A and B are shown apart, each in its own frame.
Chain A
Amino acid sequence: GAVVSQHPSWVICKSGTSVKIECRSLDFQATTMFWYRQFPKQSLMLMATSNEGSKATYEQGVEKDKFLINHASLTLSTLTVTSAHPEDSSFYICSAKQGAEGKSPQHFGDGTRLSIL
């Protein structure tokens, strides 16, 4: 089945550091990937839609300068949390959809737990 790989799975770093998270579709091409954020015991909140070769589409309230998204190839999207602070600590998870059929589900990476000290 379709596999989405996310790296790293866990990051602990000091406040002010920028952190890059990678999302790769391993066995299919994904022109569109999605980035979500999940706080403890809450649902997944869509942050942005990552489009290969063009600018990402951000959801309302998400700072595009804070969360930089690059989708340079059909198999890789990156999310960079710039100058991260403790309030950015969260579980970040990406997804990609295989195929154009409506019934094709989004496949998720295993997520990245980000802890900012």
Chain B
Amino acid sequence: AQKITQTQPGMFVQEKEAVTLDCTYDTSDQSYGLFWYKQPSSGEMIFLIYQGSYDEQNATEGRYSLNFQKARKSANLVISASQLGDSAMYFCAMREGMGASKIIFGSGTRLSIRP
């Protein structure tokens, strides 16, 4: 069974608009972490934001926020005031357990920002 599901293969958004990238996950662990990474065309993986399963508040990092709905097992990424430089692949990922556990990635969403 797929652990991380991203249902939007691609999205087009007008510059300066907000955008929500969907992510749902599946785990039986009580302790887990959720991540979002950005991958531009150059290939490097850029860490954006983290949400722990025990965190009560939604994580925020600048223009990025994570809409964490634990009961629904969703961890959507919200980008406010999108910029042209936001065009990239975005991956949702999950780590089960703590420590140096491996993380598993979703299939990704390609976000394109229109000027």
B and A form one assembly: yes
Residues of A in contact with B (beta carbons under 8 Å apart): 31-32, 34, 42-46, 49, 91, 93, 95, 97, 100, 102-103, 105-108, 110-111, 113
A interface footprint on B88-106 (CB within 8 Å = 1, 0 otherwise): 0001000100111011111
B residues with a Cβ closer than 8 A to A are 31, 33, 35, 37, 42-45, 47, 50, 52, 91, 95, 98-100, 102-108
Q: What number of A-B contacts does a CB cutoff of 8 Å give?
A: 54
> How far apart sit A97 and B43, CA to CA, in the bound complex (Å)?
19
Nearest Cβ on chain A to B103's Cβ, whole angstroms: 6
Q: Check if A103 sits within 8 Å of B100, measured CB to CB.
A: no
Residue from A42, A102, A105, A110 within 8 A of B98 (CB atoms): A102
Q: Output the least CB separation between B88 and chain A (Å).
A: 13
Which residue of B44, B47, B52, B104 is within 8 Å of A102 (Cβ)?
Answer: B52
Q: Which of B52, B100, B106, B108 has the most C-beta atoms of chain A within 10 angstroms of its own C-beta?
A: B100
